Structure 1
């Protein structure tokens, strides 16, 4: 299944894409390929320490380069992008490449660029589904509604919405989102300070500390996408525990 994640810049697409992929691979034994589709300003490689950086262009040159895209997470491969690349992705070549890898992976998750560039539209068109990510604030909701209209014109299948960085005092309520978008809300990911902590560690919070509120929400989403229940021992680590963990790493 190929899923592209769309939304304005800053809503958390990259973080969600990577952490969902890590959860699917770790807890549900899925074979997952995560692709950084933002070839001009890639971010994915900053969130995970990669053994070797492999780009889409490396795969187009030789699909066998996929063997180099391993991570420390079993079942998860990551395709990054070279920083500042201006190369254009050929639609037909990319279509053939994704079709080829779709046979080897249970999920291909694509982190799209933050605006509706030709690359974003290409990834949307080549995906089985797209998932709309928004924050509960006016500008994000306006951009999400624009994305909904574009997807409708392209006949793109939208699986649903992820509401990220949610707070109880959010300017835009969940009820407003439900009422104004004809899509199901797949996950509500609360604003969680632990997300930033694990981002600095270059570790997916969904597997490093799944007991965080954001981690629990992503495990529920992974369970929904596969139709399988996740059973995992949740560790209560917290911010203080994470701080001491970082100190331990510095002095060992």
Structure 2
């Protein structure tokens, strides 16, 4: 299986975020969806919705033209928008590869790649999540204590995408282990998440972003945030965060 470089996708997602945020008064109003749709229309020769068979969500075909198709039967809006952003990544980064490897870009009803080259599919999923909910936007939302329901409706992302982005963000920024980051993300974004624990996560987030930790060494920051995260087993440890 071919390995792909994620740096190009990260850079494109960041540039896209900069363009989108200019249209909003502040970060918590961010909504990339209209801009994703416009960009696909501009970059492809044909972009339309069609009832795809075999449970496929979307596909990009490159021959004499670039054709992007989204399954019109996708009822859940966040899933549809994620699929659009996923296909946009292929249009921006993978057209020549798809031209020489027809059929590599197909996504099944579970959002999983139904092709042999899943590395490009994973990169497209990564790009889609970053474009819909960039780091700066996610951080602003959590610092403003916005609910997962607000994020789903305003940023048009599924709870699964929100969980992925929280886990990815806090692992890298707060220097937590992957398993701990995922536990915290699940405690916030899962359907049956405890509201008290969600409040605790806001407290954790604020504490971890506190400017007082900036002069500390990476090892000290990691230990401090590890202690904070472990405190989530008792959400009242952050009872001062209303």
**TM-score under structure 1 normalisation?**
0.27
* Structure with bigger gyration radius: 2
Q: Which has the higher helix share?
A: 2
**TM-score under structure 2 normalisation?**
0.27
